[in-house]
A and B are shown apart, each in its own frame.
Chain A
Amino acid sequence: QVQLQESGPGLVKPSQTLSLTCTVSGGSTSYGSYFWSWIRQPAGKGLEWIGRIYTSGNTYYNPSLKRRATVSLDQSKNQVSLKLTSATAADTAVYFCARGSENLDPYYYYMDVWGKGTTVTVSS
């Protein structure tokens, strides 16, 4: 059974880069028809999609983040990373990684496995 575990610094200073890792166990980031997404949730608020990367390496991002986000794969470590530059207090949130799985008929990808999330606070 695939499990995802997010990790990273719980506290980041304003203007610094927020860096998180999602470690995949019970599955591979190298093979199969999957994508790996990052989604965040400020305390008491709703969900915001940040970006995703396919096993092929193709990436897509939320334009609202103004190109501050980078999602990458480290297939040797079976990890997915998120880097968010120029962090501000508005980036304070719980960050989730999620796996998107391909459904063949009808064709679609759905996010069927989520990590528990990691809390990041941006503050001096």
Chain B
Amino acid sequence: EIVLTQSPVSLSVTPGEPASISCRSSQSLLHNNNQNYVDWFLQKPGQSPQLLIYLGSFRASGVPDRFSGSGSGTDFTLEISRVEADDVGTYYCMQALQAPETFGPGTKVDIK
């Protein structure tokens, strides 16, 4: 089973400032089609997860361009260019390269 780790565990951000979350995998998530099989989700308090980024860097429909994903192989990053109050919640990375799909432990983001 592929293990994902995330850092930091939690993050407190001033509105308008950037934020960055790291996701590291125990194995490369690079598929032989040259795509990285990693997604990012945001779970707002009391809600279900919502897809932000798929294949490492593709923004899902309706996701603001403040959110961006990057990385390849085993190291991935989710960046928020200017954090807004609505961005609070727990961010999860997930790998879909190898069954079972697995999630990182989450990074909790709140507003200062």
Q: Using CB atoms and an 8 Å cutoff, list the residues of chain A in contact with chain B.
A: 46-49, 60-64, 96, 98, 103, 106-112, 114-117
Contact = CB atoms under 8 A, between A and B. Distances in A.
Interface stretch (B19-27, B49-57, B75-83): B49-57
Contacts of A49: 100-103
Interface string B27-69: 0000001010101010000011111001100101100000000
A110 B60 contact: yes
B48 A96 contact: yes
Contact of B55 (A106, A116, A117): A106
B61 A112 contact: yes
Interface residues of B, number: 27
Given A60-B99, A107-B33, A110-B60, A115 B48 contact: yes
Contact of B60 (A96, A107, A112, A117): A112
Nearest to A107: B33
B105 interface: yes
A107 B105 CA distance: 27
10 contacts: A46-B92, A46-B104, A48-B103, A49-B100, A60-B99, A61-B100, A62-B100, A64-B1, A114-B50, A115-B48
A106 B35 CA distance: 8
B51 A110 contact: yes
Contacts of B55: 103, 106, 108, 110
